[in-house]
Amino acid sequence: MASLWRPTALLAIAFSPLLAHSQANYEIQVYGAETVPAETLMVELHSNFTVEGQQQTVDGVLPTNHQEHETVELTEGVNDWSEIGFYIFTSEQDGHGVQWVGDHIRPRVRIPDSWGWPVGVSLSSEIGFQRSAYSTDTWTWEIRPIIDKSIGRWYFAVNPALERTLHGPDVNQGWGFAPSAKVSYDITPVVSAGFEWYSDYGAIGNISPVHNQQQQLFVVTDLNVSPVWEINIGVGIGATSATDHLILKAIIGRRFDWGKHSPID
Amino acid sequence: MISRRDLLKLSTLVGLAPSFSVLGRDLAAPDYRIDIAPVTLDLSPRHRLKTTAYNGQVPGALLRFKENQPVTVEVTNHTDRPEVVHLHGLFTPPEADGAIEEGTPPIEVGASARYTFTPRPAGFRWYHTHTMAMDDLTRAQYSGQHGFLMVEPRDDPARYDQEFFLALHDWSGYLLANEDGAMNPSYAVATINGKAMGFGEPLRVKMGQRILLHVLNSSPTEVHWIALAGHAFRVVALDGNPVPTPRTIPMLRLAPAERVSAIVEMDNPGVWVLGEVRKHVQALGMAVAVEYEERRGPARWEQPSDLIWSYEQFAAAQPANASPAPPILVPLVFESRFRGHGAMEAWTINGESYPNAKVAPLIRGRRYRLQLINKSMDDHPLHLHRHSFELRTLGAPLTAARGAAPSEIGGILKDVLLLDAQTRAEVEFTADNPGASLFHCHQQNHMDRGFMMLFEYA
């Protein structure tokens, strides 16, 4: 993903400068094309803290400043080319306590490795609900093509996501364009470092002015401590007035292999 | 390109020609001719691929040599890159062994090379390309360049009614991330004798026959497990060399380049599957039907519940080649070097990759004990050219307490040993075949990336 519900933020930005900071970062991740293996459950905790963000309540949406977002992501591998993910979003903030924000479901398919494509390719479709206190658009849908490639120590991934509102003020705004990308380098077998870029350009056919676009750049490290663990840590800055200015993020994931595996399988 | 039909015709004619005397050999036609050329191969109705093969077929024509009777083989390269053909398991001179590293000249594009040598030792050997593939998973051993080679003893003591040669091979490789974080080849198709299950001819047998199976794993990188439903294998030779203790076992394990010769008593009429034990590999096609006379119908498979194999069961209590002098110890430590999660690992022997990995020159006539120490997370099929070695200790974990030495075995002569990850083993050989001798991991992607070393004679 990139930050969720960008259509909300973007379209709000496009039509009202007062809503320019209404973004919400719950799952900050550039997807790789690989899917979770069959009979395996990936449990991830996404922890994002907005150090410096929107400080006002805008159109009923709470300020993001000093919001702590905890997102639980459960992804089950279906077969060797598909998976299905489920998200539980929460937010904690002074004066509001811990709040349930919403849930999403995300099926994903990919090109099997055996097809021998030169790049990894997959496609996810994420649909879900979020409470109006956290997003004016309560039902959203994201289609995310995912392309990635490892070359030696380098890793590249691009997610040219399309997002739209299914229920809410922006339901008539059509599809928005929110691409993200990642480049990283394997310093050692365990430590990789790189950059992740997240953006939201607004509605396709009505691209927002630069200062109303969301543009975030994260410096990240991935720690490959074990095949069953996934650790990603980063710090991001927002480059436009429409973007939260400073965010810390961490993803900790663990694979649980619940299948009965035999050497003869 | 030479047509497949032309090549088949040619190889048949040449392959059946009688051997000529040594005198006048250069003027005469060769005893055997190997034409290396592109072919289009139908592995199954759904899998057609272009590859390179010997004499237009996969596996290449069976070459039958008489032990200690000189033979001439002419190899012609019809491909667009230099090639070389390794005579695997033979004690040939370096210039005929088919390894450029030892001094065999490459066969240039469109050129021919003629090798005259005296085949030895007797047993089931094979021939294959000995070139590099690097990142191209269609070249070298990933291609169809392999064939059977049988050096027949003057007196064949084996008692069997019918003989089959079977080559296990993997095709259409692609890179997949391993659990150790590096890329490794995986495959879309797996075959026996170049055909996926149901696409090739069955092995036709009769009730009461003793059949002798010569099984070769010609896969570029994969270990394979083979069973014949309803039957058992009596293993009589490993890598073409008779074992001191033949055993009847339910399945065979073959690392890349390994061979197993086994007798099967055909005493259970029906149509059976001979195939890979692991379901996902058999599903890729690695199986063939074994059909009793006057029996028809779908082939029947009985799924084993485990993978069972050990070299030790075929061993003798005493070494085959007891030497009065203690052998010279040669420690060889194998390690990987990380090249990124998007790359295959590089490999070292005693901290160096080929051609920098070196040990002291061999002294002719001396006995050597190689102490093979695998510090990596991969298993390695280790191959020594131009010599056979004797297995002496196997499978000792590197983490074993000091002094907990594994028991010694003897009598098993091989030219490939699968050394498990994080273990050590010891093999002995006598330096009795002067000339450069290559030692390497037979996994194509490992030898491509440094896992080779030359033994030189003093």
Could you tell me the sign of the dihedral formed by the alpha carbons of B9, B11, B12, B18, in that order? positive
Contact between B304 and A264 using a beta-carbon 8 Å cutoff = yes
How far apart are alpha carbons A15 and B325 in whole angstroms? Answer: 92
Q: What is the pLDDT of residue B272?
A: 98
Is B266 touching A (CB cutoff 8 A)?
Answer: no
Q: What is the pLDDT of residue B163?
A: 96
Total residues belonging to chain A: 265
Contacts for B236 with CB less than 8 Å, ≥ 6 apart: B158, B212, B242, B243, B246, B261, B262, B263
How far apart are alpha carbons B385 and B424 in whole angstroms? Answer: 20
How far apart are alpha carbons A74 and A41 in whole angstroms? Answer: 7
Q: Which of B174, B183, B307 sits opposite A263 (nearest CB)?
A: B307
* Beta-sheet strands, E only, within B277-376: 287-292, 328-337, 346-349, 367-374
Contact between A189 and B338 using a beta-carbon 8 Å cutoff = yes
Is B134 touching A (CB cutoff 8 A)?
Answer: no
Q: What is the pLDDT of residue B4?
A: 39
Single out the residue of B359, B385, B368 nearest to residue B323, CA to CA: B368
Q: What is the pLDDT of residue A242?
A: 85
Q: What is the pLDDT of residue B23?
A: 34
Is A40 touching B (CB cutoff 8 A)?
Answer: no
DSSP alpha helix (H) spans, B323-372: none
Residue keyed to tokens 């021939």: B127
Q: What is the pLDDT of residues B361-388, one digit of tens each?
A: 999 999 999 999 999 999 999 999 999 9
Q: What is the pLDDT of residue B373?
A: 98
Region of A67 (left: φ > 0; alpha: ψ -120 to 50; beta: rest) is: beta
With beta carbons less than 8 A apart as the criterion, state whether A54 and A25 touch. Answer: no
Cβ within 8 Å of B, A 95-124: 113-116
Q: What is the pLDDT of residues A64-90, one digit of tens each?
A: 888 899 999 999 999 999 999 999 999
Task: Select from B337, B341, B376 the residue whose CB has the most chain A CBs within 10 Å, as the one to mutate to test that interface.
Answer: B341
Contact between A155 and B343 using a beta-carbon 8 Å cutoff = no
How far apart are alpha carbons A93 and A83 in whole angstroms? Answer: 33
Q: What is the pLDDT of residues A126-170, one digit of tens each?
A: 999 999 988 899 999 999 999 999 999 999 999 999 999 999 999
How far apart are alpha carbons A116 and B174 in whole angstroms? Answer: 6
The residues of chain B scoring below 50 in pLDDT are 1-25
What is the largest distance, in Å, between two alpha-carbon atoms of chain A? 62
How far apart are alpha carbons B276 and B284 in whole angstroms? Answer: 10
Q: What is the pLDDT of residue B153?
A: 87
CA dihedral A21, A26, A29, A33 (to 10 degrees): -120
Contact between A116 and B174 using a beta-carbon 8 Å cutoff = yes
Beta-carbon contacts below 8 Å between A and B = 64
Strand partners of residue A50: A247
Is residue A24 predicted with pLDDT exceeding 70?
A: no
Could you tell me what percent of chain A has a pLDDT over 90? Answer: 71
Is A188 touching B (CB cutoff 8 A)?
Answer: yes
Contact between B342 and A151 using a beta-carbon 8 Å cutoff = yes
How far apart are alpha carbons B121 and B415 in whole angstroms? Answer: 12
Is B177 touching A (CB cutoff 8 A)?
Answer: yes
- Residues of B with Cβ-Cβ distance to A113 under 8 angstroms: 174, 176, 186
CA dihedral B385, B388, B393, B399 (to 10 degrees): 0
Q: Which of A114, A152, A265 sits opposite B343 (nearest CB)?
A: A152
Single out the residue of B317, B441, B422 nearest to residue B384, CA to CA: B441
Contact between A186 and B307 using a beta-carbon 8 Å cutoff = no
Cβ within 8 Å of A, B 289-328: 303-307
Surface-to-core class of residue B409, CB atoms within 10 Å of its CB (0-12 exposed, 13-18 middle, 19+ buried): buried
- Residues of B with Cβ-Cβ distance to A116 under 8 angstroms: 172, 174, 188
Q: What is the pLDDT of residues A181-205, one digit of tens each?
A: 999 999 999 999 999 999 999 999 8
Contact between B174 and A114 using a beta-carbon 8 Å cutoff = yes
Task: Please tell me the pTM assigned to this model.
Answer: 0.89
10 Å Cβ neighbour count for B107?
21
